Amino acid sequence: MFTKILIANRGEIACRVIATAHKMGIKTVAVYSEADKEARHVQLADEAVLIGPAASRESYLVADKIIAAAKATGAQAIHPGYGFLSENAEFSKRCEDEGIAFIGPRHFSIAAMGDKIESKKLAGAAGVNCIPGVNDAIETAEKAVEIAKGIGYPVMIKASAGGGGKGLRVAFNDKEAFEGFTSCRNEARNSFGDDRVFIEKFVEEPRHIEIQVLGDSHGNVIYLNERECSIQRRHQKVIEEAPSPFISEATRKAMGEQAVQLAKAVKYQSAGTVEFVVGKDQSFYFLEMNTRLQVEHPVTEAITGLDLVEQMIRVAAGEKLTLTQADVKRNGWSIECRINAEDPFRNFLPSTGRLVRFQTPKQTMFQGNTADLLGVRVDTGVQDGGEIPMFYDSMIAKLIVHGKDRNDAIAKMREALNGFVIRGISSNIPFQAALLAHPKFVSGDFNTGFIAEQYSQGFRAEDVPHDDHDFLAALAAFVRRKSRERAANLSGQLPGYDVQIGQDYAVVELGQGGNNRYVPVHVDEFVGKPGVAQITIAGKTYAIESKSRLNDIRIEGTCNGKTFTAQVERGTLKNPLALQVQHNGTRIDALVMSPRMAELHKLMPFKAPPDLSKYVLSPMPGLLVDVAVAVGQKVQAGERVAVIEAMKMENVLFAAADGVVKKVVAAKGESLTVDQMIVEFE
């Protein structure tokens, strides 16, 4: 067994590998870019080596620097994590040539499966079902349109070296095929250094279901059940679960056996994943094989009780698998939510900056520990006060729960999301909460088009259903009542000017455009002890009890005997005096005041925000990679104006209305801040 390994990655996956290595008594070496010098993975490792500037292509993607770091520190093996060099056959071979063990498959397996064009041919030869398509690299956008017409729309345009939703577009017509091909090539070239693109038929109403396989260097291969990954946005997975609520035992067995056939055909050793697209009739087709550890591996760990990182390390050290197919368990139900640094209410634009507050829900399951299950686990590479840089992926944490069954897992996940505190940047937690409460998700009736269909107009605050909206107002009144009671108990108050607690309040929910909701609230005396109040709203009673303190951002307690976790923060962007209350993904900004003050508040004029329709502003920090207009040019609404690259994704900005370009303020290649002006119209 190794005594020291280097992790050629960053963020949560680097921390994940470190956890298992330490459990096994193996010392760890972290590598980091200049942007990551204060990162959590650097602090957790036994040693850390600086490998270059912030940009991945100058640090995490430079094999020479990583090999040199391994040699300098005496690391006998390298774990690549996922992304970066994890599926780079040359890097795997280079490690072997340098006498360093690669904790992953052999280079020939990566080469065979890493090329999506060649892997299709190999899969077909191994007896695996494949999708119709053209598996040769396409040279021009015109040729892509011609091929797409031949196959029949819709088609999927895909970069051969793609992954993680990058270099992938679905086209429903010639225009989309033409533009999609160009975007795919650009993204693939920037992310992977390989711009080959191919096209295949897009299976409608498809499910994305993948089989986890595990092989050793002695020819043994087993499959560890499946993961359901159909909840996706822009081909990026959002929620993953194991097992799938859709497939039958017979389909599971057939998919598992085909995955093993493919793994054996390429002499696969280590953990890997065979991805399938599954039709509504349970017909399934090979999509691709990921020759690495998957982001969503924790859900498989929860239902099987196996530590997949440990299995990878043992296989890389030459050990045999200790279990057979008959030994593989399927216990309970596990769900994972990807917590991303993005603003769901602004079309999921990347959100970068400092994590002013970062508190995870209480964990009862931990990385590298498969003894404690049926609980909550958080995999993350960030911490309170850390910086979310614009150079890397937007995922900052993974929230994993394990329940007795699917409904238990959903309930656990909803409660865990309530307790996940992220401040300073936006996160997709409200969106995750909405998905988990959606009737179609709860019933298991969904496919990969679910998010695009259900949220076709984008995601808005009103898309987050709440079982009892008045509970949020009751909670705001409860917190305000607690603060008034504390103020009333302060000594030294002048007679006649002391704080009066009062029992009647008005909760003013601040709405868009001055459209506020006024809720009369009656609060009964605290019954015998602090932290207890009975609140009445429109004839409904909320008996709330909580020991949380006023400065706690997370409030835990009971309401009418049922436990709850919610978040309450003072001061919002709308009003520094307001309370921000969050529960089950719904958020209100509320002022709690006396009834008389509420009457006067209604008379306050609303100040409309300035008209910004004459400007194209940068919606996020990022790199301006293209400006598609010039001064004096006539532009129509919906026309492409600029392209910004942030968190490894291209974001296209369009004109909101017809107009003539007056000024182009920002130049191509410039680093932009949020709301920085790019173009002004006359």
Give the residue numbers annotated as catalytic, written as ranges: 288
- What would the two tokens of residue 29 be? 């070496």
For 675, list phi and psi in degrees, rounded to 5: 65, 15
Name which of 331, 342, 406, 411 is nearest 371 in CA terms: 331
**Exposed e or buried b per residue across 556-587, where buried means at least 16 C-beta atoms within 10 angstroms of its C-beta:** ebebeeeebbbbbbeebeeeeebbbbbbbbbb
Cβ atoms of 102 and 92 within 8 Å: the answer is: yes
Cβ atoms of 322 and 305 within 8 Å: the answer is: no
Cβ atoms of 626 and 372 within 8 Å: the answer is: no
Sign of the Cα pseudo-torsion (674, 676, 678, 679, in order): positive
Alpha-carbon distances, residue 133 vs 155, 187, 218, 662 (angstroms): 9, 21, 35, 46
Query: DSSP labels for 190-228?
Result: HHHS---EEEEEPPSS-EEEEEEEEE-TTS-EEEEEEEE
**Exposed e or buried b per residue across 405-433, where buried means at least 16 C-beta atoms within 10 angstroms of its C-beta:** ebeebbebbbbbbbbbbbbbbbbbbbbbb
Q: What is the DSSP letter of 130?
A: B
d(CA 679, CA 666): 7
Cβ atoms of 234 and 187 within 8 Å: the answer is: no
d(CA 90, CA 10): 20
CA angle 611, 613, 617 (to 5 degrees): 105
